[in-house]
Amino acid sequence: MNIIVCGGTGLVGSALVKSLLDDGYTVKVVTRKPLVGHEASPRLQYMSWNELKQKPEVLEGTDAVVNLAGETLNQRWTDKSKQRILQSRLLSVARLAQALNALQKKPKVIIQASAVAAYGTSLTETFDETSPRRSGDFLSQVVEQWEEAANAYPSDARLIKLRISLVLDRKKGHSPS
């Protein structure tokens, strides 16, 4: 199977790419800064968003797409960084949707990263995928726009909006040891 991972060099993406390669998949990673020379496997290829825009046909024959792309949340939230957080997510979805919609043979599955921020926060309530969305704080507004943008993907593909929570890693991210 051929899998595209957008944002495959981040914390979650790099772990996913490693797992997919270990399981025998062929992976193309779309990233802002391709890691030229880091292809440790003949089944791994890196490409930039600009390359994807110029040659969307490289996605032809892809079985599944995972879009994890977006500015890290692990930073001080200034007005400028908040703008980058939102725009990076919306732009990656728009670019990917444009490329996928141009294909003759579209992928069967698209997994679009999102966040549990869709539900807001509570010290007493529990939430699941049937809980109503709450818009109010910055992240919930980002999620609302991000998930709405994902509706531009090809309608004949199965679209999964994967609401990810806080990701912990021993060496990187929010709370390295």
Percent of the chain clearing pLDDT 90 (strictly above): 65
* Domains within the chain, CATH numbers bracketed: 2-164 (3.40.50.720)
pLDDT tens-digit map of 62-111: 999 999 999 988 889 999 999 999 999 999 999 999 999 999 999 999 99
For the chain, give the mean pLDDT. Answer: 89
| CA 139 – CA 145 distance, rounded (Å) | 10
pLDDT tens-digit map of 7-56: 999 889 999 999 999 999 999 999 987 765 556 688 999 999 999 999 99
pLDDT tens-digit map of 110-121: 999 998 877 777
